[in-house]
Structure 1
Amino acid sequence: MRAIAGDAIPLQSRHLALTPHLSRRPTRRTVSIAAPGRPRNDFDDASSDKAPLSSPATPTVLAPLQPPQTKSAIEISNQKALSIELRYLKDPVKLSEHVMYTLRNNQPDKALDLCRLASKTMPCVVSFNAIIDFYMRKLRVNDALKVYNEMKKRAQFPDSYTYMMLLRGLSLRSHVTLPVRQENVAKAIAIYTSMSTPSSRVKPRIIHTNAALNVCALANDLDAMWSIAAQIPEHGDGSADSVTYTIILNCIRGSAFGKDDFGTKADLHSAIPSLDQIAVTRQKAVSEGRRVWLDVIRKWRSGTIAIDEDLVGAMGRLLLISKSIQDWDSVLDLVAQTMKIERQVPSISDPDRNIQHVPQIADEESSHREEETDEAGFTASPAASAFKTVTPLQPSTPTRRAPSSLAYVKPGNQTLSMLTEACQAMRTPKTATAYWTLLTSAPYDLKPDVMNFNAQLKLLAINRSSRAAAKLVSQDLPAAGLEPRISTFRIALRACQRDVKNSNVLEYATTIIDVMAKTCPDPDPQTLTEYLSLALATNDGEKIARVIDHLDPIVHTLRSRLNYGTDAPISEAADLRDRRDAVSFLRTLVGAIDVLLSRRLVPDSDRAAYFSRRGDLSAFVSRCSERLERKTGRWESREENKGGEDIGRGRRQVKGMNRAEWEKMKLKKSQDRTWEERERRVLGREERLNPGAVKDKINRVGEKGVSGGWRNRENGAKGASGMEITGRDEGRVRGFVDSASEL
């Protein structure tokens, strides 16, 4: 481990790793020129009191400097009442229980005052630990460190649990998607270094090392992680275990992405990296992980550590970020090596294996890899033999005992998802099905979870298997006793969108939407938008009308959700995002009704009903948009809430605009409310540039023309929106529908 960490730490920062910074020498205090006067005592002459303080003949004697009068560092509020409580808390166990009860009532100041008073007569380390853990869980790191320093001043020496709570609390975040702050990494390294000093009462154990490594891993600070890993001993107490290697592999994988999907810190502030640079960075991370895995296998063969599924999954996910098919295929070798599960497909080196349909990237490091074979025949090379079948390490001297065997890992749900993703990357769906059948039957009898079904749905989406996706959501998931998630329906609709040429794809999508309506109290607006877009792609008026009528109960649910909110919102930001998605779906629904009316895809007898429905939905969307604008307080919300293709166009227009430019753009749009005015202005500009070369391009609506929902062909009256549509071009009509729904 130390050798791997030494090679991984950069040369420029190697001498600074875990080096405690010396404090600056304090400056000397300025000495007064005049000598202070002699202190007064009882033997002085009484007549000296009447003597003048100073005379012109004698120099002025300065009074001695008095220390500044400051208030007490710690003020205990209501000390008398707390002292009465402590009369009944003479046992440290009773005190800790009462402190925890006080913390549950959200009174940390009172709990801390109790510990301050009780620390004079009894040990209170457990009570102080409870307060530190409370502050850490509230993400009040500075308050927890103040309590940690105060307990040391009160001769309440921290124990192993104190350091564990500090290091574990530094890895906590307000949200799982946010990285740990760099200042927490510096504090974790300082605490871990203080434990390693000779004067420390508590020496770091492997649990403290893992907690410090976890802080560095969640901050994607690979250099700090390797600096801590360099101090891990190879043998004995404090040596690395399976959790240590799991954290290291996860940190290597996280550092390969960075902020902009780029691993190195030096390039984070540069231009966006190319695909080749990303591939090189990820390949370096995979090669580094292979070196770590060699150390894992060496200790596993000797019986020093035990491998679990989390460690195998960490190595497998690291291999899957690569762009090389060799690394994807190594996932199957990894499972065969650690779980003794035979490969269900030949290796890529086998001539019978066809990999021509998979995009491949040349592996530049393959030519530099060398093989080193030990006495037992195991090839210790991070290149090609890191995942080959291994045998247990035999003792040097013969013994009468039976040869030892390796403790293989039992496969779980994480392994099944990892194998499915590897087969998805290699485009071998039959191999994924073979692994699914093998692991769900005897002797493994694995019960798939929702994430396994989601991985299977991704594979079906790539193969455009909409029918199988609908069957999996409607039959296989209920048979397994599982409830699908929102992500499950999105992936299933993606399979239907890729299978759009199938004549029955809309029926399969309707089955998925029906399952979502039954299982989810709040339907997902994004899934509904994809379902409606799938119906619009068919260009069939009857199917579009059937989908709009089928969504009518769900629309009522969404309207109630927009008016009254959800029963248990996750957060204010999540609730606002859900409201925006719901309004975006309703805008898309209004646009779909416009398509039916403008293209005359519905009978004339039903046009009045669709006009009424469109007017009701349009007015409701306008009211919801105004409420969202008032709630967010941002004038850009109207442009951000546009649905469909208008989302990207609106963001490009609003980005970089000030208020005046945005108002000018909206005024221009209000002037171009009809295609006639827009074309007249364009023709006028062309006429000015080339006089006499431009003819009138406006086509009036004939008997078979497109009248739309804004002009009645019989009486020529305008509709509810007060707009007109002219022209026979379908593309122009479609663009006008988008523009009308936008305005």
Structure 2
Amino acid sequence: MGNVLEKHPAYGNDPLKLADFVRKALRGDDFDTAAAVVRAASKQIQCTVSWNHLIDWEMTKGRMNAALKTYNEMKKRGQTPDSHTFTIIIRGCTEHRDVQAALGKVMAIYQNMQTDRSPVKPNTIHLNAIIKMCARARNMDAMFGIVAQMPDKGPASPNNLTFTTIINALRIDAAGDARGDLTPMQKRQNTEGAILNARHLWKDIIQRWRSGGFWVDEELVCAMGRLMLLGQNQDRDDILSLIEQTMNIPRQVPRLNTSQRMLMEPASQRTQDSKNARAGPEEPSANSDGVSAFMAVTPPKSSPPGQSGGVYAKPGRNTLSLVLSALSLMKVKEAADKYWQIFVYNKKVKPDVENYHAYLRVLRVFRASAQTVELLQSMPYGDMRASTFRIAIASCERDKRNPNAFANAGKILDIMTNALEVPDIRVLATYLDIATSAATDSDGLKLPRVEQGKQIMRALERLSPSFINVKSFFLFGKSERDQNPAERAEHRESVLLLTRRMIAAYCIVLDKELVERSRYPDLQAQRSKLSAFVTRQKEQEQRSYLEKGEIEELPEHLLQYVYSHRLNKLMVNSQLRPEQWQRFKERVQREYDAEQKLAEAAKEMQEDSTGNQELEKIAEEDRRVAEAVAKGIFAETN
């Protein structure tokens, strides 16, 4: 390129202008020009920032080896790397797709930074990035080796992000083992070992917090809590002590295995105790030393920078989700209600969709259909999803012994109608199941026959507008171009499923005589309309497949097999979907081949039998000839 500075003379003596030029050139992906100008300017000035831009650009492109080559060239040209240089390199290696290869590069750079001749010593930012790299590679030995070398104080001392990364690494490693090929006992031992290591680490965290070494934040607390969720009930119970210790929110339920705890919801406690007895002791991850790690402590007197309201960690949505998850796994509802009140109304935490869903799952476990309705009424419409109402309606389905369960399900249906543009079909079908359960389920609520009929008819009347909406969306909503085949097929099946459920509801009312005879003609007409809709959809789908050529005719010999074995109806039903038709053809071909083989084997056996008879005849004739010859020879001798 000749003397490139002759084309860009303004950048030869001004590092700031040079860095600005390099940044603009790299923004246009003109790396070669930027690198040439930086190389030429390096002969005259110190331009570390420009070299950093070059290295950063290559790292963002995933060119780790090229970036390290540029870093080495930078040093050879007399340019001194600064702290940001190493931050760029370590961060880029951390995000590289080849984790193991990147870890080797990072560890080599880390060892080089620790030498006396290195102009930059590793600080907390560097070490946190390296620890994150070890966590991604699941190299726990390397991670703890680096942590052991970190000083208690100074620019390289661990902070809250350091411990958050370590605990998250332990959780990811334990969760990875849980999905592996290990035995259940090995998976449990690995999880308990990770929790035990985190408990010992937490003691150090609390000691540093008490001495004012750093501040405990919500991210660190929730990292510890998420790891403990993987453990046993004692670990999950200690999450509440963890929240009390770090956020000054008192426990709303007594500690596990205490007499006060046994007085709360004794039925669920007996269930949990029996499960624990079968599972064995929980000592490895919840020994006495570990429990004491979450006892209340005296925090430092000053507040962290930028945080008001005391020295405790500020609770947020992540903490609320953690607490609800722990209580759901432990099957404790009363405490969940109290914590929701504290977080949402006392601590002014604005719940998100996941928080609402977590609380709804707790209510579903305890069949709290009325409380579910109250929660939905306080939930913003913008946060509501189809899954929201599926969880909510499940509470009513589980609460079928409650005489108000059907009324609560109706309220959920009203909220869904207002919140969603198109009602969720699964929710509508479940609502209808709740209405018919009294007439079909022996374990359900026993209602008088008249009341059963009124309940089912009420459900059918309420479903009518929603069904019209669903059917209109199905027929005139999204075009086939806006839906992939799987979505289109799933939606069609859902609509037909709801239609069949409604037909079944009409059949229950008519067959069990749950309404007056005078209403029969009208109900039969409604049922006939629904049946006709199902029939039309089947015929339309079959025609569409035939028009597209996705359904081909059977060969003549297979058709004869179908007719001879009376498989005509099955053949017609199989033509509704290409995959069903393909399976039907394979089945018929397989059975036909097997029948042909049996026929050939029978024919061969018959031929063998005929041949054996002929051989026996020949042998008999030979025997007779031999006897005759023998008699002649005997006569001549005499």
User: What TM-score results when the alignment is normalised by the length of structure 2?
Assistant: 0.69
Distance 1:390 1:160 in 2: 37
Instruction: Provide the C-alpha distance between the structure 2 equivalents of 1:617 and 1:93, rounded to a whole number of angstroms.
Output: 69
**1:332 counterpart = 2:240:** yes
What's the CA shift for 1:220? 3.0
Aligned counterpart, 1:73:
none
Q: 1:508 deviation in Å?
A: 5.1
Question: Counterpart amino acid of 2:247?
Answer: M
- Matched-pair identity in %: 31
Question: Are 2:393 and 2:409, in contact at CA under 8 Å, matched by a contact in 1?
Answer: no
Of residues 571, 577, 583, the one that matches 2:489 is 583
Determine the structure 1 residue equivalent to 2:193: 284
Q: Give 1:221-260 correspondences, 5 Å limit.
A: 221-258=139-176
For the structure 1 residues 488 and 209, does the alpha-carbon distance in structure 2 shift closer, same or farther, using more than 3 Å as the test? farther
Deviation for aligned residue 1:595: 7.0
1:456-535 → structure 2 map (5 Å cutoff): 456-466=359-369, 468-469=371-372, 471-473=374-376, 475-478=378-381, 483-484=383-384, 488=388, 491-492=391-392, 495=395, 498=398, 502-504=405-407, 507=410, 510-511=413-414, 513-514=416-417, 517-518=420-421, 528=425, 532=429, 535=432
Is 2:268 the counterpart of 1:344?
no
Q: Residue by residue, what CA displacement relative to the aligned partner does 1:392-425 show, whole Å, maximum 9, x if unpaired?
A: 699xxxxxxxxxx993222222222222222212
Q: Which residue of 2 aligns with 1:388?
A: 295
Q: Which amino acid aligns with 2:297?
A: V
Does structure 1 conserve the Cα–Cα contact (< 8 Å) formed by 2:390 and 2:426?
A: no
Matched residue, 1:218: 136
How far the C-alpha of 1:255 sits from its partner, in A, is 0.8
Q: Which amino acid aligns with 1:128?
A: W
**Other structure's SS at 1:503 match:** helix
The residue that corresponds to 2:315 in the other structure is 411
Measure how far apart 1:622 and its partner are. Answer: 9.0
| Corresponding residue number in structure 1 for 2:116 | 198
Could you tell me whether the CA contact under 8 Å between 2:12 and 2:44 is conserved in 1? no
For the residues of structure 1 that align with 2:533 and 2:362, how far apart are their CA atoms?
42
Query: How big is the shift at 1:222?
Result: 1.9
Q: 1:108 to 1:586 in 2, by over 3 A?
A: farther
1:490 positional shift: 5.6
Map 1:40-119; keep pairs closer than 5 Å: 83-87=6-10, 90-119=13-42
SS of structure 2 residue aligned to 1:348: coil
Q: Please give the per-residue CA displacement for 1:416-473, whole angstroms capped at 9, x wherever unaligned.
A: 222222221221212111112123334x333223332232122223233455445544
Q: Is the 8 A contact 1:458 1:491 kept in 2?
A: yes
Which structure is higher in RCO with an 8 Å CA cutoff and minimum separation 6? 1
- Select the residue among 552, 557, 562 that pairs with 2:471: 552
Q: Residue 55 of structure 2 corresponds to which residue in structure 1?
A: 132
Change (3 A) 1:451 1:232: same
Distance in 2, Cα, partners of 1:622 & 1:223: 63
| Deviation at residue 254 of structure 1 after TM alignment | 0.9
CA contact (8 A) 1:309 1:410 kept: yes
Letter in 2 for 1:327: D
CA–CA distance in structure 2, aligned partners of residues 607 and 368 of structure 1 = 60
Tell me, yes or no, if the aligned pair for 1:517 and 1:554 is still in contact at 8 Å. Answer: no
Counterpart Cα distance in 2 of 1:297 and 1:622:
71
Q: Any idea what SS the aligned residue of 1:603 has?
A: helix
The answer to whether the aligner puts 1:160 opposite 2:83 as a matched pair is yes
CA distance in 1, matches of 2:5, 2:544: 59
Instruction: Tell me the secondary structure at the aligned position of residue 94 of structure 2.
Output: coil
Consecutive unaligned residues of structure 2, counting only runs of 5 or more, are 263-268, 302-308, 437-455, 508-525, 551-578, 603-638
Distance in 2, Cα, partners of 1:210 & 1:671: 64
User: In the TM superposition, what whole-angstrom CA distance separates every residue of 1:273-310 from its partner, at most 9, and x where no partner exists?
Assistant: 32x44333222211111000011111112222221111
CA 1:532–1:446 in 2, change beyond 3 Å: closer, same or farther? same
| Displacement after TM superposition at 1:154 (Å) | 2.2
Name the CA distance, whole Å, in 1 between partners of 2:83 and 2:377.
52
| CA distances 1:72-117 after superposition (whole Å, capped 9, x unpaired) | xxxx5xx577741343664211222222222222333333333233
Contact 2:106/2:130, CA 8 A, preserved across alignment: yes
Q: Distance in 2 between matches of 1:625 and 1:497?
A: 44
Contact in 1 for aligned 2:164/2:220 (Cα 8 Å): yes
Deviations 1:20-44, CA, capped at 9 Å, x for gaps: xxxxxxxxxxxxxxxxxxxxxxxxx
Contact 1:467 1:508 in 2 (8 A): no
Shift in alpha-carbon separation, 1:419–1:536, aligned structure 2, 3 A? closer
CA distance in 2, matches of 1:127, 1:243: 29
The answer as to whether partners of 2:12 and 2:45 remain within 8 angstroms in 1 is: no
In the alignment, structure 1 segments of 5+ residues that lack a partner are 1-75, 175-179, 263-267, 371-380, 395-404, 566-575, 627-658, 689-743
Q: Structure 2: how far apart are the matches of 1:368 and 1:418?
A: 19
Superposition map of 1:265-664 within 5 A: 268=180, 271=181, 273-274=183-184, 276-323=185-232, 325-354=233-262, 355-358=269-272, 359-360=275-276, 361-365=279-283, 369=287, 381-382=289-290, 384-391=291-298, 407-442=311-346, 444-466=347-369, 468-469=371-372, 471-473=374-376, 475-478=378-381, 483-484=383-384, 488=388, 491-492=391-392, 495=395, 498=398, 502-504=405-407, 507=410, 510-511=413-414, 513-514=416-417, 517-518=420-421, 528=425, 532=429, 535=432, 543=460, 548-555=467-474, 559-560=478-479, 562-564=480-482, 580-590=486-496, 593=499, 602-605=526-529, 607-616=531-540
- SS of match in other structure, 2:150: coil
Check conservation: 1:192, 1:204, Cα contact below 8 A.
yes
SS in 1 for 2:260: coil
Q: Using a 3 Å threshold, how does the CA distance of structure 1 residues 280 and 547 change in structure 2: closer, same or farther?
A: farther
Amino acid at match of 1:356: R
Deviation, structure 1 residue 494: 5.2
- Alpha-carbon separation, structure 2, partners of 1:463 and 1:624: 51
Q: 1:261 to 1:621 in 2, by over 3 A?
A: farther
The aligned amino acid for 1:192 is Y
Secondary structure of the corresponding residue to residue 390 of structure 1: coil
SS of 2:183's equivalent in the other structure is: coil
Q: Tell which deviates more after alignment, 98-107 or 598-607.
A: 598-607
Closer/same/farther in 2, CA of residues 477 and 363 from structure 1, 3 Å limit: farther
Q: What is the match of residue 627 of structure 2?
A: none
**How big is the shift at 1:193?**
1.9
Q: 1:243 is aligned with what amino acid? A: L
Count of aligned pairs between the two proteins: 508
Give the superposition deviation at 1:190. Answer: 2.1
Out of 30, 43, 64, the residue aligned to residue 141 of structure 1 is 64
Residue deviations 1:120-147, cap 9 Å, x none? 2222221222232233333332332232
CA distance in 2, matches of 1:625, 1:488: 41
**Aligned-partner residue type, residue 535 of structure 2:** F
Which has the larger Rg? 2
Q: 1:287 to 1:120 in 2, by over 3 A?
A: same
Distance 1:124 1:486 in 2: 57
**Would the alpha carbon gap of residues 529 and 152 (structure 1) be closer, same or farther in structure 2, given more than 3 Å must change?**
farther
The change in CA–CA distance for 1:464 and 1:156 in structure 2 (over 3 A counts) is: farther
One-letter amino acid matched to 2:51: F
- Equivalent residues of 2:352, 2:383 under 8 A apart: no
